Amino acid sequence: MSAKALLPPARGKRPESVLVVIYTVAGETLLLQRIRSGFWQSVTGGLNWGGETPAQAARREVFEETGLERASGWRDWGFSQSFHILPEYRHWYGPGVVENIEHFFSLELPARCPIKLDSCEHDQSCWEDLAVAEHTLWSWTNRAALAQVIAEQV
């Protein structure tokens, strides 16, 4: 990809994001409740313009949304999913952008740890059993990613 391809358009978010499932070896996952909408999700966030890689975005988003900085426990699952951006969110992107590409990562922790929420994005967090969390999540891509983590735990 050329450097020119990574330049931002006149306005709008980059239609590429990360999803990071944070979970413990005991089989619990961290869920965050989105402000205003009230739905539960894993860590998510868009890639910045200017060449940020999915791996860089994953670490940045985890730190911004939870305060966690970890050197180990990371996994790049090596796949991405494309989804249609809901009409009510399309104003954040450039004209005509209707799809987003989401890259999947996970972060395994030895145990639960304190979380420092970004109050601009989330108003609650909880640690939930992996199997229960799968039925709590709003996003189909988040449920699919969590199912991958669950499959590895068995």
What's the pTM value of the predicted model, to 2 decimals? 0.90
CATH number, domain containing residue 59: 3.90.79.10
The CA distance from 39 to 122, in Å, is 10
Residue that the structure tokens 């090596």 belong to: 78
Q: Domain limits at 44?
A: 16-153
Residue 8 belongs to some domain of the structure: no
Residue 66 belongs to some domain of the structure: yes
Residue 54 belongs to some domain of the structure: yes
Residue 9 belongs to some domain of the structure: no
Residue that the structure tokens 């601009």 belong to: 120
Alpha-carbon Rg of the chain, whole angstroms? 15
Residue 1 belongs to some domain of the structure: no
pLDDT for residue 68: 97
Residue 26 belongs to some domain of the structure: yes
- Whole-angstrom distance between the N-terminal and C-terminal Cα of the chain? 38
Residue 5 belongs to some domain of the structure: no
Residue that the structure tokens 């070896």 belong to: 25
pLDDT for residue 8: 53
Please state the rounded mean pLDDT for residues 24-44: 94
> Domain total for the chain?
1
- 49-84 per-position pLDDT tens digit: 999 999 999 999 999 999 999 999 999 999 999 999
Q: What one-letter code names the amino acid at 153? A: Q
